Amino acid sequence: MTAPASIPRFAVVGRVNKGKSSILATLVEEASNERIRISAVPGETTLCQPIPLVLGGETLLEFLDTPGFNRARPALDWMIKRAAKRPEAAKIEAVRAFVEEHRGKREFQDECLLLEPVIDGAGILYVVDASKPFRPDFTAEMEILRWTGRPRMALINLITEGSDYRAEWRQHLGEYFNLTREFNAHQARFAERIRLLTSLAEIDEARHPNIAKTIQILGREWAQRRGRAADVILQLLETCLSYRATRTLSREESGRESARGRISRELQEDYTRRIKEIEAAHHRQMVALYRHQDYETVDDESFNRLATELFSEETWQAFGLPPAQLALAGALAGAASGAAVDLATGGHTVGMGTVMGTIAGAAGVLLKGKSLADLKMKIPGTGPLGQVNAGGVVVKAGPPKNPNFPWVLLDRAFFQFEQIVTRAHGRRDVFVIDFAQMAREGQRIGRSGHLRTEERRVLQKWFLLLAEGKSQPETGPVYETIARVLEEIEHGAAS
């Protein structure tokens, strides 16, 4: 179905396998091969397919994914002969006559399909692969596009690394196109997409107001999405820091050392498994928020590895606050951190087993290896059992005793966000986030260490209130800090 005349339309044209479909997928955030087929096999696009840019149910722009030029040289020869018969006519009339003459015929099937929307008024995005050298035979297709007289822009794409012929291409493209821009469909962020749309507004003066409106709408929607992403991270932290694994021991079990040891092990396993599940669920929310859900972004094995690495030594070395900053954050917050276990009797807490780690300086956080993520557990012995009623003993475990746990969670959430928000939709490789691979021993790659001192103080206080089970601590300043970091990540600020 053709878009209304008021909606700007641009045909994406070029040779086969030059990245046209990948560019479109990135521009409209389409991660599914069902709508935009991306493959290393040449000629996957065989029809002229409308690809609308839709937000809130409204089509803002329409791109057309076209087959590649196949026989441009003989097509141009035909047009030159036709134009010679009517030298007074505009060259686009020869192009129109060519399409009318050969429409439905196999000889110039691809050329007719890609030129038809152009002669009907669509602008032109001409895609070239600058990892390959320019050849004279490209001039035929560029000349045909110039004959149409439509607003046209050349996009330089680098499909493979190692060879770079951009300068050579620019010399030739400047003769045929209103503008030449570079666009890497596998690496482009939101800002690059907006710059490309801005360039389209420059070459199509008649559609400038519509494209400018589109850019404004996209900017507002992107900011709203960032806000929702900050909410996802906020909810992740709230859920994990408030969660407690529980078991109830009967009066008889609480008196047996073997039963107490078994419950301790089960609580440890239950707690870590549930935290992994919570983190994976929030990660999937983020994947869906940035529209990667229609593609198999992360397989089950990758998710299992991602979750396991939350409690790995590499993760705790790479993420979270350095010891000195952690000690300072705790001191500024004016409280202890690291609530680990609470014991209760008769189904209600009496404070018998609450264990809180206090930050008295850097020494409290200089633990190494997996002990960083251990739950500190204390189960009553024979002494307190005199206080146990018939209801038994309720054992609660969590969060980990080490005060760096919430900072590790936060850093991992920031890292996950960065991998998702910077992943272009034109990619079709399996989406894997491997924390162990990214971690470099002895060097932290998380962002929490780069937060402002006041932001760390606010976060640390909020973490402590959650760990202590305080009801509904103020989240406004925490949300603002998270949202600010997400915006930095979007703009490519280094960690």
- Residues 67-120 have pLDDT tens digits of 889 999 999 999 999 999 888 788 999 999 999 999 999 999 999 999 999 999
| Bond prior to 74 in cis (omega within 30° of 0) | no
Give the count of beta carbons closer than 10 Å to the beta carbon of residue 216.
10
Residues 6+ apart with CB under 8 A from 275: 240, 243, 310, 398
308 contacts 276 by C-beta, under 8 angstroms: yes
* Cβ pair 18, 128 in contact under 8 A: yes
Residue ranges and CATH numbers for the domains of the chain are 9-203 (3.40.50.300), 225-490 (no CATH)
**Alpha-carbon span 194 to 60, nearest angstrom:** 13
Buried b (16+ CB within 10 A) or exposed e, 423-444: bbbbbbeebebebeeebeeeeb
Tens digits of residue pLDDT in 188-204:
899 999 999 999 999 98
Question: Is the CA virtual torsion 15, 16, 18, 20 positive or negative?
Answer: positive
Is the pLDDT assigned to residue 176 strictly greater than 80?
yes
Is the pLDDT at 477 greater than 80? The verdict is yes
3-state secondary structure 265-302: HHHHHHHHHHHHHHHHHHHHHHHHHCCCCCCCCCCHHH
Instruction: State the pLDDT at residue 160.
Output: 77
pLDDT 10s digits, 333-360: 654 333 333 323 333 332 222 223 333 3
CA distance 174 to 98: 26
**Which token pair is 352?**
């018998």
Structure tokens at 180: 């030449």
Q: What global pTM score does this model have? A: 0.80
Average pLDDT estimate for 414-428: 86
Q: What are the pLDDT digits (tens) for 30-66?
A: 766 555 544 444 444 457 888 888 888 888 899 999 9
Indicate whether 178 pLDDT > 90: yes
Percent of the chain with pLDDT over 70: 75
Residues 6+ apart with CB under 8 A from 421: 189, 190, 229, 290, 486, 489, 490
Report how far residue 11's alpha carbon sits from residue 65's, in angstroms, rounded to the nearest whole number: 7
Taking residues 298-323, what's their average pLDDT? Answer: 65
Confidence of residue 2 (pLDDT cuts 50, 70, 90): low
